[in-house]
Every structure is written in C-alpha cells, then in structure tokens.
Amino acid sequence: MEKGKVISLEERVPKIKQPRRRKVNRKLILLLFLFFSLIVLVVYFQSPLSHVKTVDVKGNEFYSNDEIVRQSNVSKKTSIWRVDEKTISEKLKELPLIKSVKVDIQLPNTVVFKVREYERMAYVAKGDSFFPVLENGRLLEGEKLNELSLNSLILFNFDKKEMLNETVNELRKLPEEVLNSISEIHYNPQETDKYHLTFYMNDGFEVSATLRKFSEKLSHYAAIKGQLDPNKKGIIDLEVGSFFKEYGLIEEEIAEEEDEKEKDTEKKKSEEEETGKKKEKVGEDTEDEAEKEEEGGVTEEEEAEKKIEEEGENENER
C-alpha cells in the first residue's frame, strides 16, 4: 500500500487565507461602490444636472407655451425631482380655459404638460361686441371680440346667467352635426312660454323651441329636415310636437292678422266717434234747457214749489 502525500502546514496556510481575502475584497468593493454612488447622487442633486432643462406643452390652443410654463412656476432652476403633478395641475387650472393637466416626467431632465382646454361653445352678443362662453357655462367677459368667424354660434339676449348656463348644458348634449348647423340662438320669451328660443340654422330654416330639454327634440333635426322640401324654407316648430310652417304661408297669416287688427281699429274709432256725438248731443240738450229756463225766468226749484202750492190749494178746496 502506497503512503499518502504529506502536506506541510506552511503549504496549507496560503490556501486557507485565499478565500478569506476574496470575501474581504468583495465587501470592500461593494462599500466603495456605495460610497462613490452616494457622492455622485449628492453632486447630481446639487448640480444643474438635476434641474429641468426642457418643458414641452401639448394640447394647448388658446394659451401659448410661455403662458402655461409661466403659470406652472416650473423653471430651469427647478429640480426634476421636485416637480409635483398635483401642485402644477392646481396652478394651471387657475387659468379659465384649462380643463385638466397631466404631467409626464422624462428623465434625465424633461417635463411634458399634456393640457386639455375647455371648448368655446358659443359667443354672447352684447351691443357690437362678442364674448366667448365655455362648455362649463363660464362667460369670458375679459375677452372682448369685435369680429367672429363665419361658423361661430352667436347667442342673443342672454343677459341672465341661469338662462345661459342651461342653454350651454343643452347644447353640449347635441350631436356635433346638429351643433355645427346652428348659426344663431335668440332668447325671446313669450306670454305662453317664458323660455322660448328661436334657432336660425345655416341651411336657411328657423326652429322654434323651448329651453327646457330642447336637445331631445333638436337632436332629430337632420331626420326632420330630410322630410321637408329643401326649396321651401320656413319655421320648424318643436314646442309642442313637431310641425312645419312655410314662410309664404306665414306671411299670409300675418297679413290676415294685420287686416283684422285694422278692422278692429276702425270699428273702435267709429264707436268712439258715435259715443262722442251722443255726448255732444246730450250737452246741446242740456244747454237748450238751461236757455229755456233763463228765458222763462223759472227754475226747476220754483216749478217744484208751484206744484206743491197747487196741490195744497186743491186739498183746501176739497
């Protein structure tokens, strides 16, 4: 049997120390890495490298990029890590046209504002000027316009805020096709309907409706118009049911009403003239009687006294 190889203690010691050294080296490297990483982070946060370099704005139409960035208070001195979506959103919503804001941070130093603005539903006419009204019913009295584009919807006689808000709410419910076909809306209350509205359409028709839930009936405008002769314009009445009056027939009705009014006026005049003549005749009769009394020198009181005396004498004779 062969004898085993004998290993001395000096030969074994380096082999035992080698794994221990490897473990120590790994820990040292890890600690050094963490240390230098911490230093890099500190330097990064304290240096301009962590500041916002670019701010992009998307979705804005009425406000410029500079106006929105200025309102957000985000600048090139702002740390990318201090950009707070909630704070920026609340700040930008102070602008009357801003509906919502979404903030997107793109490392290393870019911020993107995705803006959604309120739509301008219509323009309220006041004198020769026009003021935009938003889809939330807010009237921008500070934005005075003297001219509008041809496809702008104009509201007339909407001085009451409640009427304006309710009208805008109903307009929001209309299909886009119907909304774009409206040219003007006039608020003209009547004795039978204090919420009466008149719609003037771009295709030449006129719609008579009431404010309360007019969107339900006007939504079917395209179907109603499809049943009419496009060459015959008139009024589509949607107040009670749905029926059409041609402008020519309406003019005839108006002419007949005016004729009746003239006849009534003439009749009243003739009655007043007859009444005046009767009053004049009564006055003349009264004057004649007064003249007769003056000529005869006898008044009514004297005649009455004479009659009483005559009756007294007759009784005495009896």
pLDDT > 70: what percent of the chain? 74
Interval 186-197: pLDDT, tens: 999 988 899 999
> Nearest CA to 190 among 259, 133, 237?
237
pLDDT for 54 = 92
Cis peptide before 108 (omega within 30 of 0): yes
Which is higher by pLDDT, 41 or 70?
70
Q: Phi and psi for 238 in degrees, rounded to 5?
A: -115, 10
pLDDT at 301 over 70: no
What is the DSSP code string of 214-281? HHHHHTTHHHHHHTS-TTS-EEEE-SSS-EEEEHHHHHHHHHHHHHHHHHHHHHHHHHHHHHHHHHHH
| pLDDT tier, 25 (very low <50, low <70, confident <90, very high otherwise) | confident
pLDDT > 90: what percent of the chain? 39
Flag the least confident range among 32-46, 207-221, 225-239. Answer: 32-46
For tokens 């934005």, name the residue.
143
The CA dihedral of 296, 297, 300, 306, to the nearest 10 degrees, is -90
Which residues of the chain form CATH 3.40.50.10960? 120-249
The residues, any chain, with a CB within 8 Å of residue 99's CB and separated by 6 or more, are: 93, 116, 117, 118
Average pLDDT over residues 103-121: 92
Which residues of the chain form CATH 3.10.20.310? 50-117
pLDDT at 68 over 90: yes
Average pLDDT over residues 122-127: 94
Residues paired with residue 211 on neighbouring β-strands, in sequence order: none
For tokens 């090139």, name the residue.
76
In angstroms, the CA 166 to CA 171 distance is 9
pLDDT at 297 over 60: no
pLDDT for 48 = 73
Residue 19, CA distances (Å) to 15, 102, 277 in order: 8, 55, 140
pLDDT for 1 = 46
pLDDT at 200 over 90: yes
Question: The dihedral of CA 176, 177, 182, 183: what is its sign?
Answer: positive
Fold of 120-249: Rossmann fold (3.40.50)
Average pLDDT over residues 108-113: 92
Q: Can you give the pTM of this predicted structure?
A: 0.61
Which is higher by pLDDT, 283 or 131?
131
Which is higher by pLDDT, 31 or 318?
31
In angstroms, the CA 153 to CA 133 distance is 10
CATH superfamily to which 50-117 belongs: membrane protein fhac (3.10.20.310)
